[in-house]
Amino acid sequence: MKLPVQLILGAALTVLFIAAVLLSFLWTPHDVILLSISEKLQGPSAKYWLGTDHFGRDLLSMLMVGARTSIAVAIVAVGIGVIIGVPLGLTAAANRGGWLDELIMRGNDLIFAFPSLVIAILITAVFGPSATNAILAIGIFNIPVFARVSRGGALSIWTLDYILAARVAGKSATRISAEHILPNIANLLIVQGTIQFSLGILAEAGLSYVGLGAQPPTPSWGRMLADAQTMIYTTPRLAMLPGLAIIAMVLGLNLMGDGLRDLLDPRIRRAKA
């Protein structure tokens, strides 16, 4: 079977970033904590492939290490949203119209009602600023997103005849949710997952920017962007490189998400084959 081009491209980009992250644990071209003011703001050279920042740190090394924070925050935040939000949404849909549905969805509304940044500030005020707390804050706000998406998708599937057939076959609501509903809303969840992943990277950048995310000297893409803003006219490279990294990562994930969605759907898969 022929794989779709977008899936290959998306997977290639994603694998490239993950490889860079894994490599960064073993080796980076330079030490990201080592400052070398004399070599600040250098252009790309044989020594510094992508140049240096205003403290003379190697940008390539910072991008590699920064990817760790950004990707980890986004993955864990999306994971929290999926692992807690999807079962909540499926439970709400299985009890549609009942008190459990009301409870879950009103709880969702409650979380939606607060701007994520305010809660993040609250969390960091109580527990202190760190990447872990940023993950928690972003993750909590992914829960209602996934709960809503899965409830909405599940509701329309609950009305279909094959669900009635499964109920006639004596299957419980939990079993029907797992066997019939979940696979059929997977495409929604994959698309939403890639969107939330991108938003997670951006949210981490935002939190780091206001000083609530990764703490110096740990680099992250968001902090690199924030630091670069004062030099955007003199050395645009400093902002462009982490920006491009974020774009490439998000693009790769979206392409891979779309490709996976098609690959997992037997209707589309056969039609293309």
Q: Give the shortest CB-272-to-other proteins separation in angstroms.
A: 13
Q: Are 159 and 167 in contact (CB under 8 A)?
A: no
Spatial distance between the Cα atoms of 112 and 143, rounded to a whole number of angstroms = 10
Residue number, 27 or 161, with CB nearest to other proteins: 161
Q: Give the shortest CB-99-to-other proteins separation in angstroms.
A: 13
Largest CA distance in the chain: 76
Q: Which one-letter amino acid corresponds to residue 176?
A: I
Residue number, 2 or 267, with CB nearest to other proteins: 267
Q: Give the shortest CB-254-to-other proteins separation in angstroms.
A: 23
Return the axis-axis angle of helices 237-264 and 5-26, rounded to nearest 10°.
Answer: 130
Residue number, 47 or 269, with CB nearest to other proteins: 269
Q: Give the shortest CB-183-to-other proteins separation in angstroms.
A: 5
For residue 272, is it left (φ>0), alpha (ψ between -120 and 50) or beta?
alpha
Nearest to 52 by CA among 243, 216, 44: 44
Contact footprint for other proteins (CB under 8 A):
160-162, 164-171, 179-180, 183-184, 264-267, 270
Q: Give the shortest CB-84-to-other proteins separation in angstroms.
A: 24
Q: Are 64 and 20 in contact (CB under 8 A)?
A: yes
Residue-wise burial string across 84-120, b where 16 or more C-beta atoms lie within 10 A, e elsewhere: bbbbbbbbbbbeeeeeebeebbeebeebeeeebeebb
Residue number, 47 or 272, with CB nearest to other proteins: 272
Residue number, 113 or 168, with CB nearest to other proteins: 168
